Structure 1
């Protein structure tokens, strides 16, 4: 008996069917059967199904003599299912890699609940991906009933984001009715009857959004079917006295669902909307149970009144939109006026403004300079620019701040002398004569930047290089940690600034940690919940320009964590630009919950993670240049170096000039750790050469040097190089790309 019976109803999807079946049959978890139901499809679907069945004994095909529709095609497949759990997969959707393994593990963990609800992502025909916005509802640890956690019913009421225990389905006699909205009278009864529901916070299914929409988005009288389906739902509840308490909830859901259909201009012909409203109102009165929510009271009036209220609401929203635009325009004009007035006032020689990572808080190089200035130049007032109140709430209580584009922001920036940032300031910020703009960058560059992107149209997509350079024209000083960076920035930003060989201020803490007592690292490990004595492996991949959205799953995290063994903890930090996208939902969140890995993507200070780790694994992240200051092993996982370098461009070949061993495949990566070669003499030799080139000016005093040189007017001198690097050799490395 297989673990999963995957029932796939098929009708007119020949262009998507192979991708769907491959996504199932190529899963790492193989204990499954596929029951494919050819719903008398008029295209080539039947032949495709027979082809797959001939090649894989796990596939069985049922050819129906006539078209019966999606729900009844699922019903036709159920008697042929022998698995522990039923999975209804639409034939134009796909499973994500590793989905069945994650589902199976969660079922084992929760002792086979009646229903397991998992996450999904919408995938669009133009390549975009959007995660379910209610994914937060899928983080419950144990099992529950709908009565104990009713918000689970706020999820999309569909059949394909769940697996169902077959014995539970057969015992309760659940089946799909005919009709357009067949998922409604299946999902509500199933969820209300389930004695144990579990959730899985992982994207297991890609829900295809077709260019012309799905069947429920077409204009048709078939949308009238919703009324019959809700009558079936109420009939089910009425037949079970123990579910009577759900009537008010279902009454509200029915009203909301029907009004939502009516409000969509592409759902019903205009000539049928009055009739649809009348039937909805009649059904609403029939099943009324308790007080009517204010937003549904419109159903107590006629269609004319409903239309008038809807048009009035639309007019109010339009006025609000125009009013918001007018307010923004007025605020912009007022801001410019204030700026013009304030620019006639003298600069404040004791005022510095800081920002980091597009106004996200006290972070990175600007933070290191800020803290050094508070100690060495306490007379200089430091003010941070943050993007919103949410970011402001995360600041330490003794940090002065202003909100971006506020009147106070304009007042402060109009008079400040010092501007410290690792991202360009907004274009509206004018550079006044006498002000000092210090650009810290975000590390040593491996990938092409700024003007060097002009011959990389894919990587340049969405980047306005001329505007970027206009903003860089305001720079007075560019901080560099090595001569490689100095040469790159001179070419990538052809602007009038002076390079300052200070080292990277944020790396001061790493340089000093080489001879530290490990107290800081122990504190970070404790905060992350890492037991004492563990070997900590930090995995920090970067984003890809050849993949839409930037995320590519290059490493099976669960497998690698297992291969590392009990004595190791795998800490994962995704690129910050991927923190809010679907990347974490593809398994990282669930692995973190289960304690397989530690997801440290949200840790604000990456320096803490570096201090807490024993070894870094990265692909092409600039983090490796910072990490080298710790003089700890680095492994480069470069299984797609060719694609990355071709799409983004690189200043040198990291696989040839690496800071440690290079793994070109997972097999090589696993061997490096199994054999302990990741920390052998060759690793140390490669790291020493890398450090001599890229940690050249990092001596632990970079932030102090910036403050003394640029704010106090002292001349402390350049840092002594770790190892002298011939200028010509550095130049050759930069221009080789």
Structure 2
């Protein structure tokens, strides 16, 4: 799939033959009104909004009669309650997708092809609000993106008008198909108490006498190794960070799921904890006192917690040139520096009131709805497939 993604002639062949074959197969596959297919991050994980909707469904009697199916690259690595598991890109996967009454995903289901089932209701939650350019707004020079597949979405959740307007345009989805209710995954971030924060720190296994900084940068799709794996190399010397702030803070390092390796960073030393593979991102956000990020959608989600956020945009000009941004995050929240010395100074002398005001303004502008997205999603799905 990596080769298919990066070599356009190969992808064109894959798309043409694959889509044609599956649309022929569709003629012989009988739709099943009681099958719902889930897939998160293309089959990589059992998490995010699809998981929250799934857990809502298994506790909602309206969905008792449905067969709930999860698709994974490696089904043997996951345990799920009630539902069935299938392997992505297998014949069984494509047949299940063709006959399913409903698809629920935070990315894509069709694997770069176009073959939506005859009676399928496609419910997409996506996986974040955009700062970085998306879809048709990404330069054609950026070889990491590009698909001939159409977005056959019937309904898509969003956190705000800002988000819905962008996704409608860049994914060519009718604007009236957007449900501005928030993201189901973020319901648990609303109304978090201090006790809940401390309980989460204990659950993760963090020292209770330290404040927690969550460092969660996004990926740079143009920075890859010889095997085309995405790598991350921030200009950070965590030994220096430990000397300067280690008495008061610990760092949770959360790399984006696209990142295969974080270079030049030593973790799990009692100061830096590598939590890139921790299964529930919300747990990490709830445990954190401060978020440091760059162009990641985690900024929108974390703002719900009403805690300080700092942007560390050490490669702003390069990122702007290679990927592109919808707005200058440096003007929205604290930070925006290219220097880790200035970031450390900001942590040591945090202007809490200013940081809080900036976060609230940011949330009012970009996160209009949150807290009840799962209920709205379940109601909308049930109404649409019955």
TM-score band by shorter chain is 0.7 to 0.9
Match in the other structure for 2:341:
667
- Give how far 1:587 is off: 3.0
Q: CA deviation at 1:341?
A: 2.0
Mapping of 1:68-87 within 5 angstroms?
none
In the alignment, the residues of structure 2 paired with residue 407 and residue 619 of structure 1 have an alpha-carbon distance, to the nearest angstrom, of 40
DSSP-derived class of the 1:655 partner: helix
Q: Secondary structure at the match of 2:43?
A: coil
Question: 1 CA distance for matches of 2:172 and 2:86?
Answer: 31
Give the conservation status (yes or no) of the 8 Å contact 1:573–1:601.
Answer: yes
Aligned counterparts, 1:14-93, within 5 A? none
Q: Give the structure, 1 or 2, with the largest relative contact order (CA under 8 Å, sep 6 or more).
A: 2
Q: CA deviation at 1:427?
A: 4.1
Deviation at 1:577, TM superposition (A): 1.6
Larger Rg: 1
8 Å contact from structure 1 (residues 447, 650) kept in 2: yes
Contact 2:69 2:83 in 1 (8 A): yes
- Deviation of 1:499 after TM superposition, in Å, equals 1.4
Shift of 1:419: 0.5
Give the match for residue 201 of structure 2. Answer: 525
Q: Secondary structure at the match of 2:374?
A: helix
The question of 1:701 aligning with 2:372 is answered yes
DSSP 3-state at the match of 2:258: helix
Q: How does 1:154-169 map to 2 (within 5 A)?
A: none
| Aligned residue in 2 for 1:541 | 217
Distance 1:696 1:337, change over 3 A: closer
TM-score, normalised on structure 2?
0.85
1:653-675 Cα shifts (integer Å, max 9, x gaps): 111122x4444422221111222
Counterpart for residue 361 of structure 2: 689
Residues 545 and 647, structure 1, Cα contact 8 Å, conserved in 2: no
Check the 8 A contact 2:220/2:232 in 1, yes or no.
yes
Q: Contact between 1:361 and 1:395, CA under 8 Å: does it hold in 2?
A: no
Structure 1: how far apart are the matches of 2:248 and 2:322?
Answer: 38
Asked whether the 8 Å contact 1:346–1:415 carries over to 2, the reply is yes
Where does 1:391-540 land on structure 2 (aligned, <5 Å)?
392-425=76-109, 426-428=111-113, 430-454=115-139, 457=141, 460-465=142-147, 467=148, 470-472=149-151, 474-496=152-174, 498-513=177-192, 516=193, 518-519=195-196, 521-540=197-216
Specify the alignment match of 2:306 in structure 1.
631
Secondary structure of residue in 2 paired with 1:431: coil
- 8 Å CA contact 1:661–1:683 kept in 2: the answer is no
| Contact 1:503-1:697 at 8 Å conserved across structures | yes
2:381 alignment partner in structure 1: 710
Match of 1:384 in 2: 70
Q: Which has the higher helix share?
A: 1
Q: Distance in 2 between matches of 1:642 and 1:427?
A: 31
Deviation at 1:702, TM superposition (A): 0.3
Q: Report if the CA contact (8 A) 1:481-1:696 is conserved.
A: yes
Does the alignment pair 1:355 with 2:39? yes
Hey, what's the Cα distance between the residues in 1 that align with 2:369 and 2:313? 27
How far the C-alpha of 1:546 sits from its partner, in A, is 5.2
State the shift of 1:528 in Å.
3.6
Query: CA separation in 2, counterparts of 1:577 and 1:444?
Result: 17
Q: Displacement, 1:558?
A: 2.1
Show CA shifts across 1:133-167 (max 9, x none): xxxxxxxxxxxxxxxxxxxxxxxxxxxxxxxxxxx
- The runs of 5 or more residues in structure 1 that have no matched partner are 1-330, 715-737
Pair 1:573-2:250 in alignment: no
Structure 1 residue 551, shift from structure 2 partner: 1.9
The separation in 2 between residues aligned to 1:341 and 1:508, in whole angstroms, is 40
Q: Is the 8 A contact 2:104 2:124 kept in 1?
A: yes
Give matches, 1:295-334, under 5 Å.
none
Report the Cα offset of residue 640 of structure 1. 2.3
Residue 56 of structure 2 aligns to a residue whose secondary structure is helix
Cα distance in structure 2, aligned partners of 1:334 and 1:435: 18
Matched residue, 2:284 = 609
In the alignment, which residue of structure 2 is the partner of 1:564? 245
Aligned residues: 359
Q: Could you tell me how far 1:429 is from its partner in structure 2?
A: 5.9
CA separation of 1:558 and 1:402: change in aligned 2, threshold 3 A: same
Alpha-carbon separation, structure 2, partners of 1:609 and 1:494? 34
Structure 2 CA distance for aligned equivalents of residues 545 and 401 of structure 1: 30
Classify the secondary structure of the residue corresponding to 1:542. coil
Distance 1:333 1:636, change over 3 A: closer
Q: State how far apart, in whole Å, the 2-side matches of 1:673 and 1:334 are.
A: 56
Q: Give the 3-state SS of the residue equivalent to 1:712 in structure 2.
A: helix
1:341–1:713 Cα change, 3 Å: closer
